[in-house]
Chains A and B, each alone.
Chain A
Amino acid sequence: MRFDELIHQPTRLRIMAYLRGLGTEAQVEFGTLQKALELTEGNLSRHLSKLEEAGYVAIEKGYSGKRPRTWIRLTGTGADAFDRHLAALEALAQQARSQRAPTENRSREETHEDR
């Protein structure tokens, strides 16, 4: 279980989550990803570069007819990193819930006693 600082950034977490849903063999076109995540072109490019540097995504440039296209794919390393990060988030969320529970129980008991 490892909290990944690179994926922790909210936009990158969203990019990685979307790519994880596609799996490591599928490629998504840049414009489709941009539309799905509602990001600007520059913002998406910047975050993808960082993820590519870390080896989490693979970026392939090509053509569809005469149109240039950029294809993005999650790598195996990226998938593992995302899964570990999600497990760390699950653990944190669980911890937060269990910390909240005694306080909530106490306040419920106090309300009950007040009646």
Chain B
Amino acid sequence: MHGTEFSPEEALRQAKALRSKAGAPLKRFVAQLLLLWGAIYLGMYGLESLGVAQTGLLWIPVDLAGVALSFGLGARLGTAIRSPEGLWLRRIWASFAFLIAATVAVLLIRDAAGYLDFVINLLAAYALLLSGMALTHHGLIRGGLLLLAVNAVFFALLPSLYAPALAVMGLVALVAGLRSLWRYAV
């Protein structure tokens, strides 16, 4: 009888392929977030660096929309797979949201809005780093470290190039997200 013969190599290949496929939903979720926040950074800092718009107040609705979308994507993943890594991501980004809210309030009360971008990006870099560690995702760890360095160096030493540098970071995240999404597409 042809066609039903058992091939250990084929069985092994299929088993290994499916084992790797299992991690795809979480990786797709990370890719969607990179894409979303990459686009937001590129758009907002891009507009600022080109001098097209003063983005100060515009950040509030854009950030809120981004956070809502991110939590929506997270909730969708949560209905498909419940994993310790997913739970860690939820904890990291929920605490990040609280930290940001507190930071923005304190800096605005103390009339130190000039530090908002720096502190928010510092916290975002730290949250990225933590997420990368929770998922053992080296790309996220590298991204977090890069954001940390770019944010610090350009804010301290090259403030006039801060917005373009962050726009480039957005572009990097956007490209990484697109590449990852392509790789882990359904």
Contacts and interface: CB of A to CB of B under 8 A. Distances in A.
A29 B80 contact: yes
Nearest to B75: A64
Interface string B101-138: 00000000000000000000000000000000000000
Interface residues of A, number: 30
Most chain B beta-carbon contacts within 10 A, residue among A16, A22, A96: A22
A71 B78 CA distance: 11
Pairs A-B, 4 closest by C-beta atoms: A21-B22, A26-B83, A92-B8, A17-B18
Interface of A: 10, 13-14, 16-23, 25-29, 31-32, 36-37, 64, 69, 71, 86, 89-90, 92-93, 96-97
B15 A96 contact: no
B4 to A, nearest CB: 10
B12 A20 contact: no
Contacts of A36: 21-22
Contacts of A23: 83
Interface residues of B, number: 24
A19 B81 CA distance: 11
Given A26-B81, A28-B81, A32-B80, A21 B12 contact: no
B20 interface: yes
Nearest to B18: A17
A17 B18 CA distance: 6
Interface in B1-41: 7-9, 11-12, 14-23, 25
A19 B11 CA distance: 16
Contact of B18 (A21, A29, A96): A21
Nearest to B7: A96
B142 to A, nearest CB: 24
Given A32-B25, A93-B8, A21 B19 contact: yes
Nearest to A92: B8
B160 interface: no
Given A29-B81, A96-B9, A21 B25 contact: no
B61 interface: no
B79 A21 contact: no
Given A21-B19, A26-B86, 15 more contacts: A13-B14, A14-B14, A17-B18, A17-B19, A21-B23, A22-B81, A25-B84, A26-B81, A26-B83, A26-B84, A27-B82, A29-B81, A89-B8, A93-B8, A96-B7
A22 B9 CA distance: 23
B81 A17 contact: no
B14 A17 contact: yes
A26 B16 contact: no
B19 to A, nearest CB: 4
A13 B11 contact: yes
